[in-house]
């Protein structure tokens, strides 16, 4: 399931509306809505998003959460031209593991990525302090 699939189901269930009724309200087949909620379809078109937002009267926070869920639900990953060979290898190694990672492995990877961000931030802060002290 994708973050958008979970979001879609959460909104529908929080409003106590059956899938069939939401599909009818939006003018789509129930099978399409079901496929979206189960992560079998990719990100829907803007028309669907606009209808969903309007017809289910999403508030500002829900719209923001929906856009985050949409941004995190893309199935393709674009590797930047500037990526090094090691980054290509890592991306493809990771791709082969997707769908089979344990919760512990995911937590470990998230922690590793978080540590590199913290390390970069600390390095930037240290450089700024050194420059300020030179003045």
Domain around 33: 3-71
Radius of gyration of the chain (CA): 21
Same domain, 67 and 96: no
pTM above 0.85, yes or no: no
Q: Taking the CB of residue 52, how many other CB atoms lie within 10 A of it? A: 22
Say if residue 7 is in the same domain as residue 48: yes
Q: Which residue has the higher pLDDT, 12 or 74?
A: 12
Same domain for 90 and 62? no
What's the total number of domains in the chain?
2
Instruction: Calculate the alpha carbon distances from 16 to 9, 10, 42, 56, 75 in Å.
Output: 10, 10, 24, 11, 29
pLDDT digits (tens, 9 = 90+) for 9-45: 999 999 999 999 999 999 999 999 999 999 899 889 9
CA dihedral 60, 61, 65, 68 (to 10 degrees): 70
In terms of Cα–Cα distance, which of 88, 73, 2, 8 is closest to 39?
A: 2
Same domain, 45 and 93: no
The reply to whether 66 and 94 lie within a common domain is no
């Amino acid at each position: 399931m994708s973050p958008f699939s979970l979001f879609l189901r959460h909104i529908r269930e929080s409003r106590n509306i059956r899938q069939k009724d939401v599909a009818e309200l939006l003018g789509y087949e129930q099978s399409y809505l079901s496929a979206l909620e189960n992560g079998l379809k990719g990100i829907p078109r803007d028309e669907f998003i606009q209808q969903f937002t309007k017809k289910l009267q999403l508030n500002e926070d829900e719209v923001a959460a929906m856009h985050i869920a949409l941004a995190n639900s893309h199935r393709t990953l674009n590797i930047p031209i500037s990526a090094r060979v090691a980054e290509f290898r890592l991306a493809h190694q990771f791709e082969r593991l997707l769908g089979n990672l344990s919760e512990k492995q995911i937590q470990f990877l998230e922690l590793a990525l978080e540590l590199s961000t913290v390390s970069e931030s600390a390095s930037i802060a240290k450089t700024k302090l050194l420059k300020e002290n030179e003045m």
